Each structure stands twice: as structure tokens, then as C-alpha cells.
Structure 1
Amino acid sequence: MNLDDYRGVWIFIEQNDGKIEGVSLELLGAGRKLADKLQVPLSGFLLGSEIKQLANQVISYGADQVYIIDHPVLKNYRTESYMKGVMLLAEKYKPEIILYGATPNGKDLASAVATDLNTGLTADTTMLDVDVENRLLEASRPAFGGNIMATILCKKHRPQMATVRPKVMKALEPDNVRLGNVIEEKISLQEEDMRTKVLQIVNDVTKKVNLADAHVIVCGGKGMGDFQNFQLIHELAETIGASVGGTRDVVEAGWLPHEQQVGQTGETVTPKIYFAIGISGAIQHVVGMKNSEFIIAINKDPNAPIFDVATYGIVGDAMEILPKLIEQFKQLRTEKGGEISYA
């Protein structure tokens, strides 16, 4: 393999029912920085059926060019059909870096493609950079239970590939007058040749907390002491119109369901305001919330690591502080006619 034959940063643009997934737009922002450092084009690649109209949106979010494979067999995601499409593009155009969102489909596709291309794949990446001199992707992720950050390199194979967790990168502001190239590729696929069939798509309509889209989150840790004390977290959240989150310890104790866990093994969140209450600040948790715009930490230990990432910190007993905060916010709501603005 001649590594010099491979050039360019590519992003898998995941779409469902003609709507681009947010993590793909976030990756275009991260990919733009990598491509500029390496002085190569940034490309998005789209697979699906009747998805050509999405190319302009991809360009507006930072891509120089968009590769499209539009085929009826690609209407719904299946490993086999999508892998054939990506293999066609990768073998023809030879990108040096391919990034995928760490979604169920993104992770499935990336692992299948890595196997067929005989290259490496770093999973659930939370930080990206490049060694420009050696043209190496530096993909970093928590390791050893989240106690360290490991930077993984793929020195001898191309393309270099990684899946990236949603909400850890930031999308660029769209530029709707930005111009780019659209390259359409043809692929030979027959439905009868596919080993799997999509018989029915069932949407989960169960009402669940969606922390990834929350603007304000009140998150509690085991420092709250017990389940009864943890109800203060719920009361503060209800008072200010926020969502409730918890650490892994809280979920394992049964105080919250898993979908409300924030951290390495839970949700990655980027709210405007994040309250970290009774949380020490272990890296396993911090990796899931460090990109919040404002972080307000309450902890009785002045040396707690959470204060290293906090915008504002309060040293004290949460069980004494929270009732006072709740009282003040309730008074503010009354003064504001029942609403609190976070603009």
C-alpha cells in the first residue's frame, strides 16, 4: 500500500427519511479543521434513495464536495448494500481519513467497511486532531474504564477511520451561498441479491427523556446521599424547566433510568446550562458534558475535579444550598410571570 496515494478527509453523511443526522453536521465542522490543517478537500458522502437534494445542505455546513450514490435499494439502511456503496467510493477515490457518527448505523457500517478495507477503526472517539507532518489522524477516546485518554494512530493502513460520539463536536454555522462540487456515482444493486430484507419499520413512540437535545440539565451524583435527597434535583429541574440527569452511580443505584445517564457509558450532552450537583468530576462523567456552554458545579469538596471544568462553582453542602436555590428560582418565576428565559 502506497500511503501517498490517499488524500482527503471524508464524512459519512447519515440520513434517515431524507433528513441528515445532527452528528454528521457536527463531523463536517470537525472535518473542516482537519482538512484545512492537511490542506486537502473536505468531502461528504451520501447514500440513499432520492437524496440528491441534500447535497447543498452538506456543502453549506463546510464540505467542498459531496459524493452521492442514489439507488432504490439504498432507501433503508442495510449493512450489505451500504458497505458496497462505501467500498466503491473508497477504492476509487482513496480518502486518507473517513469519519462516521457513533450511531447504531454509523458504527455498524464503519466496522464492516474497516474489515473489507483491511484498515483500522477507532470507536467512540471524543477528540480529533492530525499530525500534519506524518499525516496521521489522532483519534482520542477514554480507555481503561475512563481513567485515561488514549490517542490511537493507524500508521500503516489507509483510510484512517473513526466513529465519533454525537454532541462532542460542534457544527459550523451554515453558509447557504457556499459553493461546492457534487459527484454522482452509479452502483449495480439488485434487491433480490440482498441477504436481508426490510419488512417493516416500527417507530418507538415511548415517551423518553432526550437529554441530547435539552437546553438546561440538572445532573446529580452520589454526593446527594440517597434517593430521598435526590428528589431535590427533580424539584430544582421542575422549577427552572430543565431535564434531569445523573451519573453512572446514580443509575446503578436505581435513582434514575439509564436513558438519563450522562457520561462515557451514557449520553453526551451540550446544553446551554449544566448543573453538576454532588458530582466529583471523574473523567468518565466529564467526557459526556464538558462541552456544555455554562457549567455550574456544587460540591462540598473544594478540590473536586468538577471545578476544573466548571464555569461557576459553589463549595458547600448541596442539601443546604439546593433548597435556597429552589426558593430563589421560584421567586424569580413569580416575578417573570411563570417563565424563566435562558436567552
Structure 2
Amino acid sequence: MTALVIAEHDNASIKAATLNTVTAAAQCGGDVHVLVAGSNAAAAAQAAAQIAGVSKVLHADGDSVANGLAENLAAQVLAVAGNYSHILFPATASGKNVAPRVAAKLDVAQISEITKVESADTFERPIYAGNAMATVQSTDATKVITVRATGFDAAAATGGSAAVESVAAVADSGKSSFVGREMTKSDRPDLTAAKIIVAGGRALGSEEQFQSVLTPLADKLNAAIGASRAAVDAGYAPNDLQVGQTGKIVAPELYIACGISGAIQHLAGMKDSKVIVAINKDPEAPIFAVADYALEADLFNAVPELVKAL
């Protein structure tokens, strides 16, 4: 058995979710190979070769796979899929875009967002917004899997010495084209990789108060800022800060929830955090049930006092 991990990268370095996916692949048994598909991505391929536990890196370099278009990247995966028993993607926006296409073309069932590997054909994954865990077994010859990064420790980014093998890039499918990319620039840590997250909910009342209350605390802790869906829908925060079932799944070392009631959809995105601190004036707020530390208080008083204490 050999597993293939589809790397996410920026053509120069490997993104963090790939390291967690390598750990999951190693637990499936057998060798672990990594596919790096991009344009002028030799640096990313070399970085992948350094990942502990990886025995081979497949490097596909060409304009057709330069921007990770789902149709072309899926075709690139399918070109080598016959050599692998497991094909694993990080459960990110990109992975969720490509994996279903690969599974459909292989005529197999996709196994989505696994959080545990029981054996080579049996996996654990959350259902019902994380309120229950399902153990699923696949008899398909090739397992196409997406991996929830928070369920696995990251593989060491250095220490490996895998061989890098060049493979031909597939032809452009012509079904889609890359128009442009608008990147959000921030001095804060990336939300999905941050060790500390300060998150706000609808109780903050406005975009101005969202920023004025949470920013000083986040600055003190060098934390990322997150938001509940209610806060995003109300326009207090941009969509890329949303944490939850329909947002980003996070598992920081410390998660501070300010004015977040704790709807099921939000809890699904952050309940794996190592330490959860909840600040809410409603003693019946559901988030208190998962919080390690609960402060029943008005956040407009409590958060500034916390900032002063720090």
C-alpha cells in the first residue's frame, strides 16, 4: 500500500495543512508520497521532500497546474492515481474542490474530513455538525479522503530526505481559466494556524465595537481574530474570519469567545481547541458547556479589564 498526499503550496513553500495530512497518510500504512503540482514550484517540491515520513515527491510543473484549478489538478491526480491505494487531500477549500472530482472519476465514494485512522480501510469522521462521530469502512480499491487538519498532529517539516521525481504536467482542460487573485493582507497570524484566537459574536453590536473591543486583546496576545456566523452576517467582520461549520475549523491552544452564544454550527468549528475561555452575560449560553473557563460578565467591561491585566 502506498498513499499519495496532494500538497497545498504557494510554489515556494508547503502550507501547514499538508503536514497534518501526511500524518494521516502515514497512519494508513505503507509508504507516503506527495504530489506537488504547480508552476516554477521546484522550491515547494524540495520543501515537501524534507517532510519527515515522506519517501517520494512527484513534481508536476506546468502552466496548466499553475493556479490549482480544480479541473486540471484533478486530471493531474488521476494521471498517477493507479499507483496508489489512498489519495489524501487536506480538507481545505482547495481540497474540497478537487477531491470529489477525483472520487467521481475513479467511481469510488469519497471519505470526508476524517479525524482518525482506525486501519487502512476504516476511518472516523464527524457527522451532525460534530455532535456524533461515525466510523466508516471502505471496500473501494482506492480510498479518496479529505483530512480535517485539527484531527492530526503536523508531521515534522524537516528531517526527511525523499527523492523528487518529475512527472509530466497534464494538458489544460479548457474548462476554466484563472482570472485573478485578491489576497487579504494582515500582520496577524492566519486563522487556521494561529495558536491563540480571539473571537467575537453578535453581542458586540457593530463593526466599530467589534474592532475596538477585540483588537486590543488580540494585539496583547498576538492572536488571530475570529467571528461567529451571526457577527459575519451582521457585517461586523469579513467572511474570511468566520469560525464554524460553514466557516473555518480551528483548534488553537487558546480560544477566547467574546459575546458568542455557542450555536451548534459555531461549536463545530472550535470545540477541539485546547483551552476555551467564554465571556458572556447570559448564564444559559450553550458555549459555557464546552468552555474550560467561563466568565459570566458584560464583555464591554470584562475584555478591557482583561487587556489592562495583561
Could you state the TM-score of these two structures normalised by the residue count of structure 2? 0.79
In the alignment, which of 105, 108, 111 is matched to residue 116 of structure 1?
105
- 1:180 has 2:168 as partner: no
1:251–1:105 CA distance, 2 compared to 1 (3 A): closer
Runs of 4+ in structure 1 off by over 6 angstroms are none
Shift of 1:201: 5.0
CA distance in 2 between counterparts of 1:73 and 1:328 reads: 51
In the alignment, which of 12, 33, 39 is matched to residue 6 of structure 2?
12
CA distance in 1 between counterparts of 2:249 and 2:233 reads: 18
- RMSD (Å) for aligned C-alpha atoms: 3.4
CA distance in 2 between counterparts of 1:151 and 1:105 reads: 24
Paired residue for 2:209? Answer: 231
Pick which of 105-114 and 303-312 moved more. Answer: 303-312
Paired residue for 1:83? Answer: 74
- 1:101 has 2:90 as partner: yes
Q: Please state whether the residue corresponding to 1:83 is helix, strand or coil.
A: helix
**Deviations 1:247-305 (Å, cap 9, x if unpaired)?**
22333344433333211111223444321133343442223223434321224566755
CA distance in 2 between counterparts of 1:274 and 1:216 reads: 6
Paired residue for 1:195? Answer: 174
Shift of 1:69: 4.0
Paired residue for 1:204? Answer: 182
Q: Which runs of 5+ in 2 are unaligned?
A: none
Shift of 1:75: 4.3
Paired residue for 2:138? Answer: 155
In the alignment, which of 116, 121, 125 is matched to residue 128 of structure 1?
116
Paired residue for 2:60? Answer: 70
Paired residue for 1:217? Answer: 197
Given residue 180 of structure 1, which amino acid in structure 2 is its aligned partner? A
Question: How many pairs are equivalent?
Answer: 304
CA distance in 2 between counterparts of 1:229 and 1:20 reads: 34
CA contact (8 A) 1:237 1:243 kept: no
Q: Please state whether the residue corresponding to 1:268 is helix, strand or coil.
A: coil
Paired residue for 1:22? Answer: 16
Shift of 1:190: 4.8
Q: Please state whether the residue corresponding to 2:53 is helix, strand or coil.
A: coil
Larger Rg: 1
CA contact (8 A) 2:35 2:57 kept: yes
Given residue 277 of structure 2, which amino acid in structure 1 is its aligned partner? I
Shift of 1:67: 3.7
Q: Please state whether the residue corresponding to 2:111 is helix, strand or coil.
A: strand
**Deviations 1:140-190 (Å, cap 9, x if unpaired)?**
1343xx2733526353313222223555543133333x33344x2544745
- Percent of aligned pairs with the same residue? 27
CA distance in 1 between counterparts of 2:210 and 2:176 reads: 49
Paired residue for 1:141? Answer: 126
Q: Please state whether the residue corresponding to 1:45 is helix, strand or coil.
A: strand
Could you state the TM-score of these two structures normalised by the residue count of structure 1? 0.73
